[in-house]
Amino acid sequence: MKSIFLLLALAATALAGPRVKFGDDRYSLEFPEGWKKAEAPNEKALVPHENADGSALFAVNLLPVPKDAKPDLDGTAKDLAGGLAKSLGLKDDPEIQEGELDGLPARFVTMVPDKKADDPAQLGMILVLIEGKTEVIVLQTTVSVPAKQATREACLTIIKSFKREDVK
């Protein structure tokens, strides 16, 4: 079910906002109208933005890869997702899906807790790890669960907007 949600949402509509560059202007994203700069969730987070009602936060982290090494997307995704899943209180290991964004290998991880109607609000996350030349690019979306359909679509459309600026 979560996999279907991710794949369907990646086909969402185009965004209206300007492109925001990061990573020495090598990459960019586009944020929907109404999303604004936000406080970074950690000191290394780049381009943090949140939606108008504060129920979704999007940020990017660049994880350097040692010189002459190849990024290990599967291992990095498993390590990151495993730690985050525990902090979110998820019982099962998140599913990691292979794919690509703008021609680069990527791994998609959706971590959404099962929520009953009477449960208090919880957080869910979507991680996308992308293989860069010298780093692993981590796109991270944190949303309040249950998330509104428009919020889910906006978050996934931001992910879909990822572009390499250094190949133009």
Domains and CATH numbers, the chain: 2-164 (3.40.1000.10)
User: 6 — alpha (psi -120 to 50), left (phi > 0) or beta?
Assistant: alpha
pLDDT at residue 118, rounded to an integer: 58
- pLDDT tens, 78-124? 888 888 877 777 766 788 999 999 999 999 998 877 665 556 667 88
DSSP 87-136: HHT-SSPPPEEEEEETTEEEEEEEE-----TTSPPEEEEEEEEEE-SSEE
Name which of 25, 26, 24, 22 is nearest 37 in CA terms.
Answer: 22
The residues, ordered by sequence, that sit 6+ positions from 51 with a Cβ below 8 Å of its Cβ are 32, 34, 35, 151, 154
pLDDT at residue 102, rounded to an integer: 94
Name which of 114, 121, 120, 124 is nearest 85 in CA terms.
Answer: 124
Task: List the structure tokens of 148.
Answer: 């509104």
User: What stretches of the chain show up as alpha helix (H) in DSSP?
Assistant: 2-9, 73-88, 149-160
Q: Is a pLDDT exceeding 70 seen at residue 32?
A: yes
Q: How high is the mean pLDDT of the chain?
A: 83
Contact assessment for residue 17 and residue 161, using Cβ atoms and an 8 Å cutoff: no
CA 3 to chain centre: 14
